[in-house]
């Protein structure tokens, strides 16, 4: 019953995501918006080189985060390593292709597969990505791709850990979330407007222990550069202060917090006058963030942000938090996600299953994607398997028992209580992955 009430509360919050496609200057009414890419001056003000971040005692990264609510750490993945990331993602995509179905499929699908082999992820058919892989602004929520080689290379990269470590200098160990991958191949439409879904990911009224007031930084590690003509992240500089406080006064979020819902969207606010003011501020002040290849975008979870869909993107969400914040229940919940090939939300301390895939089978999903060759030769559908084998799933794991953990009861939205499953989960996840959870 608690889960049902939570889902109903979430439905009220998320109902505003489905809006009109009419463009205009008032995002609150038109449900769309248009904002520019950062200027060179704006980008320089928020960019901090990795070398400077890692200088002992350097306050620059924290100062930028405190002032703007976000920062871009450049050079986190050196140029000479970026191809290895792209190769990992190429291998993940190739492993997803249903070779048996491809052998009897249309020539257009076979040609698309050859292009993927030769040219890599940029050549992945855009129609296949949009139909079978991604949601919204290129979120990869299914087929266990967020537990593939690419995602885990990002989460375990020493420079990622080093950057987050500077934000929590007193902590001995950090742990990771298992959030989604962002992917839009070449061929995606360049957009001048996007659907208005500006939100924060921290609710002052969240009843879950430690989440309402913790200092948490979300991150996206960009392997392809982001800027003009690409999909990227949009942020409102400085909104993590007064604007977050204004949103937290709204009765909508006081109510949703009772059910453990951290997602707070401007258009969901009960107070329409304040919502309209915030939307107007977003249209004036928000910026599409410029991130060079190999850069790590960080932002405070109280900062207003959303994804921008319009052009290619290959990036991995990352969030590390102190292990001291993570309870044993959360660690076991993340073991379940790692074994089943399911995404979490951004919280590393929590292990909350992403609310957009509750009930989804992960590695045990059955939804194969058939091949097809539409009239437009350049937009074939590659046949895909239901899922990758997650990097964390141990050899010899009891998959019969694990499959029973797909449908579980949640104490709050997406938060699992794991009765009697600890031993199974400990045996089901590789130590090389487990140590990061």
- Listed in sequence order, the residues at least 6 apart from 152 whose beta carbon sits closer than 8 Å to its beta carbon are 391, 392, 433
The residue among 77, 69, 63, 49 whose CA lies nearest residue 160 is 77
**Average pLDDT of the residues in 277-301:** 98
Residues 6+ apart with CB under 8 A from 224: 230, 293, 312, 313, 314, 315
Q: What is the mean pLDDT of residues 259-272?
A: 96
pLDDT of 395-436, one tens digit each?
Answer: 999 999 999 999 988 888 888 877 789 999 999 999 999 999
pLDDT at 25: 63
> What residues pair up with 314 in beta bridges, in sequence order?
183
**Residue length, the chain?**
437
pLDDT tens by residue, 5-46: 443 444 444 444 433 333 346 898 899 999 999 999 999 999
**Are 126 and 115 spatial neighbours (Cβ–Cβ below 8 Å)?**
no
Strand partners, 429: 393
Query: In the structure encoding, which two tokens stand for residue 427, read together?
Result: 């045996």
Question: Is 80 exceeded by the pLDDT of residue 223?
Answer: yes
pLDDT at 312: 95
Q: Quick one: average pLDDT of 212-225?
A: 97
Name the pLDDT band for 102 (thresholds 50, 70, 90): very high
Note the pLDDT of residue 17.
40
317 strand-pairing partners: 220
Q: Are the beta carbons of 373 and 109 closer than 8 angstroms? A: yes
> Which of 2.60.120, 1.25.40, 3.40.720, 1.10.287 is the CATH number of 24-200+215-246+286-435?
2.60.120
Residue where the block lists tokens 């191949």 = 185
Q: What is the three-state SS of the chain? A: CHHHHHHHHHHHHHHHHCCCCCCCCCHHHHCEECCCECCHHHHHHHEEEHHHHCCCCCCHHHHHHHHHCEEEEECCCCHHHHHHHHHHHHHHHHHHECHHHHHCCCHHHHHHHHHHHHHCHHHCCHHHHHHHHEECCCEECCCCHHHCHHHHHHHCCHHHHHHHHHHCCCCCCEEECCCCEEEECCCCCCCCCEECCCEECCCCCCCCCCCCCCCCEEEEEECCCECCCCCEEEECCCCCCHHHHHHHCCHHHHHHHCCCCCCEEHHHCCCHHHHHHHHHHHHHHCEECCECCCCEEEEECCCCEEEECCCCEEEEEECEEEHHHCCHHHHHHHHHHHHHCCCECCCCCCCCECHHHCCCCHHHCCCCECCECCCCCCCCECCECCCCCCCCECCCCCHHHHHCCCCCCEEECCEECCCCCHHHHHHHECHHHHCCC
Mean pLDDT over residues 346-351, rounded?
Answer: 94
Torsion angle of C-alpha atoms 136, 137, 138, 139, degrees rounded to 10:
-60
| Confidence band for 370, pLDDT divided at 50, 70 and 90 | confident
- Chain-centroid distance of CA 14 in Å reads 17
C-alpha distances (whole Å) from 178 to each of 213, 316, 381, 430 are 22, 10, 28, 15
Report the first-to-last Cα separation within the chain, whole angstroms: 30
- What confidence tier does 77 reach under pLDDT thresholds 50, 70, 90? very high
Q: CA 317 to CA 297: how far, in whole Å?
A: 9
Q: What's the rounded mean pLDDT across residues 126-131?
A: 92
- Please say if the pLDDT value at position 315 is more than 80: yes
Note whether 372 and 381 are within 8 A (CB): yes
Which is nearest to 340 in space by CA: 392, 386, 384?
A: 392
Domain boundaries, the chain: 24-200+215-246+286-435
- Kindly report, residue by residue over 320-337, the tens digit of the pLDDT: 999 999 999 999 999 999
pLDDT at 13: 46
Q: Phi and psi dihedrals of 376, rounded to 5?
A: -80, 110
- Mean pLDDT, all residues of the chain: 91
What's the pLDDT at 7? 38
pLDDT value, residue 378: 57
Q: What is the pTM of this model?
A: 0.93
Give which of 220, 216, 239 is closest to 230, Cα–Cα: 220
**What's residue 3's pLDDT?**
47
């Amino acid at each position: 019953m608690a889960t049902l009430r939570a889902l109903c509360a979430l439905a009220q919050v998320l109902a505003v995501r489905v809006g009109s496609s009419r463009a205009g200057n008032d995002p609150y009414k038109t449900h769309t918006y248009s904002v520019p890419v950062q200027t060179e001056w704006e980008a320089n003000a928020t960019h901090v080189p990795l070398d400077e971040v890692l200088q002992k005692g350097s306050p620059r990264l924290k100062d930028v985060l405190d002032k703007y609510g976000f920062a871009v750490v450049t050079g986190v993945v050196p140029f000479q390593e970026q191809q290895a990331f792209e190769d990992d993602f190429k291998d993940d995509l190739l492993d997803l292709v249903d070779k048996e179905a491809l052998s009897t499929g249309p020539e257009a699908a076979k040609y698309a597969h050859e292009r993927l082999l030769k040219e890599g992820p940029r050549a992945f058919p855009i129609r296949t990505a949009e139909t079978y892989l991604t949601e919204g602004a290129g979120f990869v929520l299914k087929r266990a791709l967020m537990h593939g080689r690419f995602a885990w290379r990002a989460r375990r990269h020493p420079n990622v850990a080093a950057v987050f470590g500077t934000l929590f200098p007193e902590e001995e160990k950090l742990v990771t979330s298992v959030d989604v991958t962002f992917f839009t191949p070449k061929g995606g439409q360049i957009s001048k407007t996007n659907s208005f879904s500006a939100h924060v990911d921290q609710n002052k009224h969240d009843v879950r222990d430690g989440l309402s007031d913790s200092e948490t930084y979300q991150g996206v590690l960009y392997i392809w550069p982001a800027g003009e003509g690409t999909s990227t992240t949009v942020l409102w500089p400085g909104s993590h202060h007064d604007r977050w406080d204004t949103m937290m006064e709204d009765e909508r979020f006081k109510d949703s917090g009772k059910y453990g819902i951290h997602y707070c969207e401007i258009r969901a606010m009960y107070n329409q006058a304040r919502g309209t003011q915030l939307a107007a501020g977003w249209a004036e002040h928000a910026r599409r963030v410029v991130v060079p290849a190999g850069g790590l975008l960080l932002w405070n979870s109280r900062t207003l942000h959303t994804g921008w869909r319009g052009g290619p993107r290959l990036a991995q969400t990352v969030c590390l938090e102190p292990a001291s914040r993570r309870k044993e229940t959360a660690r076991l919940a993340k073991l379940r996600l790692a074994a089943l090939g399911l995404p979490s939300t951004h919280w590393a301390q929590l292990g909350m299953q992403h609310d957009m895939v509750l009930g989804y089978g992960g590695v045990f999903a059955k939804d194969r994607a058939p091949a097809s060759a539409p009239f437009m030769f350049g937009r074939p559908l590659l046949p895909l398997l239901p899922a990758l084998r997650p990097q964390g799933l141990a050899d010899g794991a009891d998959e019969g028992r694990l499959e029973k953990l797909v449908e579980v009861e949640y104490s709050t939205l997406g938060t699992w209580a794991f009765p009697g499953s600890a031993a199974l989960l400990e045996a089901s996840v590789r130590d090389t992955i487990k140590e990061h959870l």
